[in-house]
Structure 1
Amino acid sequence: MRPITFVHAADLHLDAASGGLGADMPPAFAERLHSATFVALDRLVALCLAEQADFLVLAGDVYNHEDGSLRAQIALRDACARLDAAGIPVFIAHGNHDPLSSRIASLVMPSGTVVFGEDVSVHPVVRDGETIALVHGISHASTRETRNLARRFARTADACPQVGVLHCTIGTADGEQRYAPCTVEDLASTGLDYWALGHIHLRQVLCETPRVVYPGSTQGLHIGEEGDHGCTLVRVDAAGGIVLEERPLGPIRWQAVRVDIGPQPAMRTMESKGRPPTDTPRQATAATSAYDAPLADVDGLVARTVRAIEEAAAEAHAGCTGMVIRLVFEGRGPLDRLLRRPTDASDLLDLLRGEVADLTPPCWVKDMEVHTRPDVDMDAMLRRDDLLGATLRNATEALQSPDGMSGARTALAALYEHHAARKALPPLDEATLAALIADAGTLCLDLLESD
């Protein structure tokens, strides 16, 4: 059997608009963000050409909307034309964001591009008169495909590698919003060698035999899709062995950066950067003393935050041209009150944006989350015989008691079940409920102890 190389990508979401970003983002950065999905597509084509791939598979959601923009569809056609000119066929399965009904019929794809239809079809990849692989695939006919499409696939008698292309939900990954739902067992029972899946935007390898892979999206679309995004380069050797290589493509990296406002020994900071610890107890004491107390001033907070962003930026791949940052402040310290005052927090955000704008890659701080706590002796507060002590004890007991959590959930039910509010609020799971109770206690502490 001849060795083959192919590229598996999915969820390009061409022309997607990134949500949750304010109008105060610099225009140059905003344009870089808006063009990111198209840059990732160009890099995908370049990878296929550089690796002399035998074929490319795109496993759904190539476009971001059912009425995919003309710009997006022309970009895809032109990308396929570049690969067609190099003799690299492209196999496209449409998903829930871009079902077959969304395509502009007047756009003609190159002859080397296969767009799968509503039923499974099988197409050979031929080199020098030899079929080196078979690619099976199916597209979603509509935006709400609820059938198990995996059960329609079946291996042929051919001995070459056989690849399935499907946009689907495995198990309960989407909760109630499941598209073409199936199981790994459904996929394995078909006898195919590799499953090129789409729909989940973070990379996952769900099975080794057969290989069942979500490559993730080519470009992260929001802060919930952190880190590098790209595609999977697949090499199949003459014995049928499969080796996967993850290749980053997305030019914009989304990242939550955590900053602790509490004590942070210099020893720990040095070790985290790969430098050896100090050699003598005297040196260690001197190094640690600089951080043996919580941050107490804005300058120190800015310095620590910029350092954390710099470390996050250093982890980005070489092709990253910008980072969108969410700052998450944690820990206990006197700056808790400042961070919780809206005006001060807004000023701090503006200051930090200016401090990191010229980093490499350029960074934009989109927002901040504050999960800090006051710098107080909480045990002493809980023992107080006043309104604050009673409030804090109630919050603590609620967190530690199933009945208390249930009572808090009941109290919040009217808000979370309101027809308008529930569209904007996250699901009220246990972690969210616990965070709300803890934040309520912190807010009471701040208000009742304010000067």
Structure 2
Amino acid sequence: MPRRVSGETSASGIAKLLPVFPRDLEVINSGNIQIASLRRLAATRYNLQHQFIGAPESLLGRYKPAIEGAVNIGVLHPNLGGALGHDLYSPCTIADLTATGFRYWALGHVHMRSAVEGAWAIVMPGTPQGRDISEAGPKSVTLVTIEDDRSIHIEERTTSISQFERVLVDANGIEDWRELVSAISRALERKRSGLSSDHLVARVRIEGLTPFAWRIRRDTDLLKAEADHRASVIGTCWVEKLEILCRPTDRSEEPSEDRFSSSTA
């Protein structure tokens, strides 16, 4: 019968998740290293409970050595492998983590899932729900099961209800408003049909060479309303924003500044 170890960022988090402790679960406080030991499994969970915001240097040296004969589990909030666009918090590499001798590392910080499986399991589960277009794609949690033979199994489970996605609309050669709206509708339908989450939240990008380019830019608000309507017809589909990058096939087809100004007044 497999046993599962759950937790937050401190040993006190275990108490929140498990108000009634299993009889074979032991929680040990040792300074600011929190250890949860599941005796029947011989699994030991380490978590560095920090009281500070920044950690520009690795915190791995503050973890206790792996316990011989146990499935050692580490919990850490690091910048793994120098992930760009994220704070340099407790930077470390996969080699650094495997060198500890811990069988499983549960990581946090970067909201993009990554996993390494083999003799060691290292999982950055990402986030259960994307917050904006910068966190596009399906989001998930990772279920890690330690069997009685101490083998470790990892299973990704999709949890996102809404899924942010970029939707490209090819406007090359489009000369009719109705044709453009239909192209947006088809692109949304294609993206929605392949979605693994319940709702699509789309950032629609319209690009290409078209003599219709000036009107698309002039009437972006109207086009957004048309896109919203088509999305509502598709169902569980939402247009977050339109990005207009289309260009005229001939610069002479662009209206003069005066004409453009009078058209939008």
Instruction: Place the TM-score, normalised by the shorter chain, in its bin.
Output: 0.7 to 0.9
Q: Show the counterpart of 1:355.
A: 230
User: In the aligned structure 2, how far is the partner of 1:232 from the partner of 1:370?
Assistant: 37
1:345 paired to 2:220: yes
Query: Which among 366, 369, 385 is matched to residue 240 of structure 2?
Result: 366
Normalising by the residue count of structure 2, what TM-score does the alignment of the two structures yield? 0.82
Q: 1:176 to 1:86 in 2, by over 3 A?
A: closer
Query: Which among 191, 194, 210 is matched to residue 101 of structure 2?
Result: 191
User: In the aligned structure 2, how far is the partner of 1:115 from the partner of 1:221?
Assistant: 36
User: In the aligned structure 2, how far is the partner of 1:218 from the partner of 1:235?
Assistant: 19
Query: Which among 168, 172, 195 is matched to residue 258 of structure 1?
Result: 168
1:230-309 equivalences under 5 Å are 230-237=140-147, 240-262=150-172, 294-309=173-188
Tell me if structure 1 keeps the 8 A contact 2:37–2:43.
yes
Q: 1:118 to 1:178 in 2, by over 3 A?
A: farther
User: In the aligned structure 1, how far is the partner of 2:91 from the partner of 2:133?
Assistant: 26
Tell me if structure 1 keeps the 8 A contact 2:206–2:246.
yes
User: In the aligned structure 1, how far is the partner of 2:210 from the partner of 2:230?
Assistant: 23
Tell me if structure 2 keeps the 8 A contact 1:57–1:196.
no
> What amino acid does structure 2 have at the position aligned with 1:303?
S
User: In the aligned structure 2, how far is the partner of 1:248 from the partner of 1:88?
Assistant: 31
- Give the Å deviation of 1:176: 7.4
Greater shift, 225-234 or 351-360, is seen at: 351-360
1:225 paired to 2:175: no
User: In the aligned structure 2, how far is the partner of 1:190 from the partner of 1:226?
Assistant: 33
Q: 1:132 to 1:313 in 2, by over 3 A?
A: farther
- Give the Å deviation of 1:299: 1.2
Tell me if structure 2 keeps the 8 A contact 1:123–1:136.
yes
1:385-424 equivalences under 5 Å are none
- Give the Å deviation of 1:316: 2.3
Structure 2 counterpart SS, 1:224:
helix
1:40-439 equivalences under 5 Å are 54-58=4-8, 80=16, 83-84=18-19, 87=22, 119-126=32-39, 130-174=40-84, 177-206=87-116, 208-237=118-147, 240-262=150-172, 294-317=173-196, 320-341=197-218, 344-360=219-235, 362-376=236-250
Structure 1 counterpart SS, 2:126:
coil
> What amino acid does structure 2 have at the position aligned with 1:157?
I
Cα displacement string for residues 131-185 of structure 1 (whole angstroms, at most 9, x for unaligned residues) = 4411111133122233311222244333232111011111321457311222222
The sequence identity of aligned pairs, in percent, is 27
Unaligned 5+ runs, structure 2 = 260-265
> What amino acid does structure 2 have at the position aligned with 1:327?
V
Cα displacement string for residues 26-53 of structure 1 (whole angstroms, at most 9, x for unaligned residues) = xxxxxxxxxxxxxxxxxxxxxxxxxxxx
> What amino acid does structure 2 have at the position aligned with 1:143?
I
- Give the Å deviation of 1:194: 1.1
- Give the Å deviation of 1:209: 4.1
Tell me if structure 2 keeps the 8 A contact 1:168–1:198.
yes
> What amino acid does structure 2 have at the position aligned with 1:57?
G
| Alignment: residue pair count | 257
Structure 1 counterpart SS, 2:246:
coil
Structure 1 counterpart SS, 2:234:
coil
Structure with the bigger percentage of strand:
2
Cα displacement string for residues 298-347 of structure 1 (whole angstroms, at most 9, x for unaligned residues) = 11111121121122222222xx3432211011222223222222xx0111
- Give the Å deviation of 1:191: 0.5
Tell me if structure 1 keeps the 8 A contact 2:34–2:49.
no
Q: 1:367 to 1:115 in 2, by over 3 A?
A: farther
Q: CA RMSD in A?
A: 3.4
Q: 1:447 to 1:295 in 2, by over 3 A?
A: closer
> What amino acid does structure 2 have at the position aligned with 1:122?
I
Greater shift, 232-241 or 158-167, is seen at: 232-241
Q: 1:139 to 1:157 in 2, by over 3 A?
A: closer
User: In the aligned structure 1, how far is the partner of 2:113 from the partner of 2:56?
Assistant: 23
- Give the Å deviation of 1:116: 8.3
Q: 1:299 to 1:119 in 2, by over 3 A?
A: same
